[in-house]
Amino acid sequence: MSTAPSPHTRKLAIGAIAVLVVLLMLPNLLWLWLGSSTTLWVDALVIPTTLLLALFALFGNRPWIACVLMAPFAMLAPLEAFYIGTYHRPTFAAILATIATTNSRELREYLGDMMLPLLVLCLVAGLLVALLAARWSRRSQLRWRPAVRIGALALAIAIPLGFGIVAGVTATGTRAARLQSGEQKESSLADEIQYGYPFGMFQRLAEYHRLWKGMREDASRLDTFRFHTHRVASFGQRQVYVLVIGEASRRANWQLFGYDRATNPELTQVRNLVPLPNLDSSWPESITAIPMILTRKPADDTEYAWWKEASILRAMQEAGFETWWISNQMPIGKYDSPVSTYAFEAQHDEFLNHVSWSAPGSYDADLLQPLLDALHGSNGDLFIVLHMMGSHQSYDYRYPEAYKHFRPAESDPAGGIPAREQSRNSYDNSILYSDHVLASIISILRDSGAVTALWYESDHGETLPTPNCTAQGHGHGTHAEYEISALSWYSDAYASAFPTRVAALRANAGKRLMSEDTFESMIDMAGLDFPGHDRTWSVFSPTWRYRPRIVNRPSQIDIDHARFDKYCGMVHPLHG
């Protein structure tokens, strides 16, 4: 004979469900509190609340099922809240990929020894709340009253319809135009689900799966490619070579290349540093520029980011180097996935950015500890790629407060100066910080005691506003977007081991170089060879020779025989 559920159990069930709902809404409420958008209340409050109401109303006769379905999200809610509290925005697909590539050591470094146990405790507590709510709801046979359940479902349907009706009524134009406006509002609400918690996680996971799967499929197409690389000389000392890929760093704002501001106070004091004052990029955006650095892809090949050959990482690994890719950018995304196609050729990969380029908080000095870990974690020869955030917009996000030297910056009150001067100050601060990071990388390599050398090259430059030009960023096709910062550095041990290569580097450093030269140059820098290796592309070879420097956008143009307009410096054919 069954016994009726006790009132006490019923109260426990209702209380546990209330706690569960608050826990599930915690990330949204935190986002609403910290965010600054005037429409944030829709994404963070109205949509998640409506969907939770619909879920519990749908399972009104068995609310314990809704509790079980929400259990994984209750467990993860503290983690989402922690992320929002740190970066003032929800997670997204690329962040899920970063988490997927994070190992336990990186997690400890990111959270700290004290925070990690506390966060684990919160995750367990969140799961426990959901499971207890489910258990007590089932034991108490908790039910919604039919009228309340129908009313809740009606309300959940009416709220999004109401947004569409209001949008249609307040729109101007014909009846068809107003109807279209209402439909567009309904469609936008469906898209905005992805920003809220917990239901937005489904869209984020689906986007993560789509992007990750596509990137890995592209990477697998290169699995069978081989350069058949080998070393041309061997000696007993360890070798470590590093490629640093910069971001949006134009050489016009580098003290090393004649800029009138002290943006390179540390690098100007570094011995064995070889600036490359005339190395240009072929493309004004990362997605097409970075493959030019990593592979033998020709400048006049306009096939997006794809190239039929593997990257320098594969060539180095074939020659016995342990390969690393350590990035302060995202592993997946519209502009990131093509780069990760090559990044995942490395034997070890670490993606450190937990916030992306659209928010502050991930600085390039984060690359230093993983570099040290790679050096100390192996006694073998290493080839390491470090991918910086550099000077990507917004510039004030790229450096910590201690490097806000040129003021007022974009985040400061204007103080009566034009906004373009604030942009210049912020951009120069980002260069100042990159100077520190690069000098620190070189210091680490110098202290390693290995035969070591470094090649730094920005993917593209940047357009800054002037009195004659309001354009800013990259992708426009101005000469400042092709004229990049680039340099090389070598240790004393490297100079002793490869004196001919050092002499060739110094002899070729001032010549008109291109990102097309990078692959073959790094092959020579590391003392390697392979069938088809062409040393006329290598600045470490006395046989290097000049070729027309083709840039792309808006059309293919030889930048050495081009004209720049007087406004933004757009690159145009010399005649035409």
Q: How confident is the model at residue 561 (pLDDT cuts 50, 70, 90)?
A: very high
**CA–CA separation, 453 and 242 (whole Å):** 7
Q: Which is more confident, 333 or 7?
A: 7
**CA–CA separation, 126 and 323 (whole Å):** 40
**CA–CA separation, 313 and 252 (whole Å):** 30
Torsion of the alpha carbons at 203, 207, 212 and 215, rounded to the nearest 10: 170
pLDDT above 80: residue 88: no
pLDDT above 50: residue 1: no
Q: What confidence score (pLDDT) does residue 446 get? A: 98
**CA–CA separation, 31 and 182 (whole Å):** 27
Residue whose pair of structure tokens reads 């390599």 in the numeric block: 445
Local structure of 34: helix, strand or coil: helix
Q: What is the pLDDT of residues 492-524, one digit of tens each?
A: 999 999 999 999 999 999 999 999 999 999 999
Can you list the domains of the chain with their CATH numbers? 7-210 (no CATH), 232-573 (3.40.720.10)
Q: What confidence score (pLDDT) does residue 192 get? A: 83
Beta strands 486-490; 382-387: pairing state: unpaired
pLDDT above 80: residue 187: no
Q: What is the pLDDT of residues 35-53, one digit of tens each?
A: 766 678 888 888 899 999 9
